[in-house]
Amino acid sequence: MHSPDNIQYALETTRVLLEPDRRIDTFGDTRFEFLLLSELMDRTGEIRLRTGEVEAMRPRILRPDSMQEIELEGFGDKARERMDALIEKLKAEGKDLAFLRYGFRFRSGKVHEEIVHDSLDAVRDRVLEEARRVGNPAKAIIEGVDDAWEVSVFKFAFEMIRQSWPINRFDLHRRGLL
């Protein structure tokens, strides 16, 4: 189990190196692909690459009292605890997550891992160059902490909510739904 300090450290050190070109669609589901780089603990020159998908369901107009309905398939016993800790931290910081309800589906069964023997800087440069060359508008490159990698993916998802919220609100307001 991760301590609050470990979760805080993961939140502070996680960086989204390449954001998707798109945001969460207002009137449909949105799928993001991620590639997460993390340096292995206590090993130099070994980088774990995790690739996977995060699906954002279309936002719903609600004023939720909690966000307990976020689905976490296959992440293990501690994932819910980590998600709840992140939500509580964001609430304590005064973040408004209650106006539009965003649903996410995280499927760790579709996460693939690979160990690369090189420096973090070299791996980072290669994956960023490849992502820019391919130009996938749904791709995110994230640099995070290896043992709390789920927190890094959750932080990315919440960042997508933060950036999508004004667009989604505008779209819903324009259609007279708010």
Which range of residues forms the domain containing residue 30? 4-174
The pairing of strands 71-73 and 100-107 is: parallel
Lowest mean pLDDT, pick from 18-27, 70-79, 153-162:
70-79
pLDDT in tens, 10-54: 899 999 999 999 888 889 888 899 999 999 988 888 999 999 988
Between 28 and 77, where is the model more confident? 28
Per-residue pLDDT at 169: 84
Mean pLDDT of 54-70: 67
Helix 149-174 to helix 4-13 angle (10° resolution) is 60
pLDDT in tens, 114-144: 999 999 999 999 999 999 999 999 999 999 9
Domain count, the chain: 1
Q: What is the DSSP string of 77-132?
A: THHHHHHHHHHHHHHHTT----SEEEEEEEEGGG-EEEEEES-HHHHHHHHHHHHH
- Phi/psi for 161 (5° steps) reads -60, -50
Per-residue pLDDT at 13: 93
